[in-house]
Amino acid sequence: MKVISKVSQEEFELQFLSSEWYKEFYDSVRVKYNGIINNPNLLDWQENFFRKELLWKWRYPLLGQLPLEIEWYLIELSAEEFENLLVIREIGWENTFGIGKNLREVAFAVKNNVQDRGNVRFDIIQDIMDNIGKYNFKEKLILISSDLKPPYTIVEGNHRAVAFELKKIETEVNSHLPKQFLLGISRIMNTSPWFNFRQTQQIIG
């Protein structure tokens, strides 16, 4: 893992909102606010305010269960580090794949036709796979951890991440894998229900 730079809360919110901007709950406001998403000015406090409002209005159930004080970083990961990212600890993903699973394990489970027991939506994963090479997936995956050392949990972009890893397994090519990620760290990140961990990993409260 290589740390590229620290990232502001405003940049984090922009990245998160950008990755969600296509979803239907933004249909009614997309035309009005497209400019501050596609051509943002992070020095404009009004833009930052509107982006925060748009993001938190719809994603509070997820964001509200992260620690208040988080340090955000732009990092770079290798292909091997990518496959070891943990998927989100969410009930649907746990019911389907189990606890503490990494991308490689999840991708192989999907490849081997595991039953979707939690409405994970394998069709979304397939749609993303079909668009690899056709669409520029520039939105960064967002990770969380208790410090800068792995393991890291994917808190936003789980379907994309699984699709990327599954494509790598099927084609034995990794040129489509993302290189840069946003990582949020907090010493109390383990208090978040989304924070995942390997069964052999000790969690200190």
Report the relative pairing of strands 2-7 and 180-185 from DSSP bridges: unpaired
Closest by CA to 58, choosing from 25, 31, 15, is 25
Please determine, for residue 200, whether its predicted confidence score (pLDDT) is greater than 80: no
Please determine, for residue 201, whether its predicted confidence score (pLDDT) is greater than 60: no
Beta carbons of 126 and 160 less than 8 angstroms apart: no
Specify the higher pLDDT residue, 205 or 125: 125
Please determine, for residue 162, whether its predicted confidence score (pLDDT) is greater than 80: yes
Determine the pLDDT at residue 204: 41
List Cβ neighbours of 17 (8 Å cut-off, separation of 6 or more): 37, 51, 54, 55
Q: Residue 62 CB: number of other CB atoms within 10 A?
A: 17
Per residue in 13-60, pLDDT (tens digit) is 999 999 999 889 899 999 999 999 999 999 999 999 999 999 999 899
Per residue in 92-137, pLDDT (tens digit) is 999 999 999 999 999 999 999 999 999 999 999 999 999 998 888 8
Determine the pLDDT at residue 135: 84
Please determine, for residue 203, whether its predicted confidence score (pLDDT) is greater than 60: no
Determine the pLDDT at residue 202: 44
Whole-number Å distance between alpha carbons of 8 and 20: 19
Determine the pLDDT at residue 23: 87
Please determine, for residue 1, whether its predicted confidence score (pLDDT) is greater than 50: yes
| Token pair for 70 | 């988080």
Per residue in 66-99, pLDDT (tens digit) is 999 999 999 999 999 999 999 999 999 999 999 9
Please determine, for residue 197, whether its predicted confidence score (pLDDT) is greater than 70: yes
Beta carbons of 47 and 41 less than 8 angstroms apart: yes
Q: How many helices (H) and strands (E) does the chain have?
A: 8, 5
Determine the pLDDT at residue 136: 83
DSSP 116-148: -SS---HHHHHHHHHHBTTB---SPPEEEESSS
HEC string for 9-55: HHHHHHHHHHHHCCCHHHCCCHHHHHHHHHCCCCCCHHHHHHHHHHH
Q: Rounded mean pLDDT of 162-172?
A: 97
Q: What confidence tier does 186 reach under pLDDT thresholds 50, 70, 90?
A: very high
Q: Which pTM does this prediction carry?
A: 0.92
